[in-house]
Structure 1
């Protein structure tokens, strides 16, 4: 059943809404201890804030490292460096320590520190082509705040495990709720102008879906299994 409805402008980032949803659920004593969410809601700051402020564990895939080093998979992504936040030193996979650890001049995407390595180490390094594409400059490692960095690395490691996949599989059921709201109740078609009226429409849609589901449950109506496309069926047969 749908237990909370929030309506926002289309430009509102998903991860900005987790705290709002949790506050609304807490007021009605519906706050869970675990919240399954998709990748749009699982920024490092959300993982930390939710656990600290609401005692709710956000379970969901976090964004992969977008760097070309991570995509290459040759051992020179940020996760392959040893980060010592206490000493403010990063050690590369080849064993060379950073020579400086300075605040990022233009913070972006949560990157607040830059660990810079020595030219004397980077220039002759046999792994330079796998580590940096700079012509002359050494490797510069952009780092988030320590707690964010550790939360993100922990989450990335956890999401590769079978236990995570089994736990997160429970979220698949909400996709049918999305489809029911879209196909049966026209959720994507806004009938009114203005956020307040639109929110009223969405509240009515949520109530309608809940009534439909309660009625089907009382009537013993079996849920329809996920439809398999003809192309997917051919793949299975092959």
Structure 2
């Protein structure tokens, strides 16, 4: 069931309007105790504060960290088959690739 619609400029992310949606639904008496959303409407702050701010449990998949720092733990950076050891030292127990 669609209970609220927000139209924004293209540069406004979904997560930036979640609080606005909760406030509008609360004022209209339509805010449920659970709000199931897609990944765009979920972030750590909203997950931590939606219950205390509005009494609603926000549920949805969290997005993956797509920053270079978040990708640093991928196999290529861990010294797995796709890349060198992170510290730059050769692992004597690892096969060398020519």
TM-score (norm 1): 0.30
In the alignment, structure 2 segments of 5+ residues that lack a partner are 79-83, 89-98
Q: How far apart are the structure 1 equivalents of 2:58 and 2:49?
A: 10
Q: How far apart are the structure 2 equivalents of 1:51 and 1:27?
A: 16
| Alignment partner of 1:68 out of 62, 68, 71 | 71
Partner of 1:11: 11
Decide which structure has greater strand share: 1
Alignment of 1:71-82 (within 5 A): 71-72=74-75
Partner of 1:39: 39
Alignment of 1:208-223 (within 5 A): none
Partner of 1:48: 48
Q: Secondary structure at the match of 1:8?
A: coil
Aligned residues: 79
Partner of 2:24: 24
In the alignment, structure 1 segments of 5+ residues that lack a partner are 76-127, 136-238
> After TM superposition, where is structure 1 displaced by more than 2 Å over at least 4 residues in a row?
64-72
TM-score (norm 2): 0.67
Give the aligned CA root-mean-square deviation in angstroms: 2.5
Partner of 2:94: none
Q: How far apart are the structure 1 equivalents of 2:62 and 2:30?
A: 25
Alignment of 1:30-179 (within 5 A): 30-66=30-66, 67-72=70-75, 129=85, 132=86
Decide which structure has greater helix share: 1
Larger Rg: 1
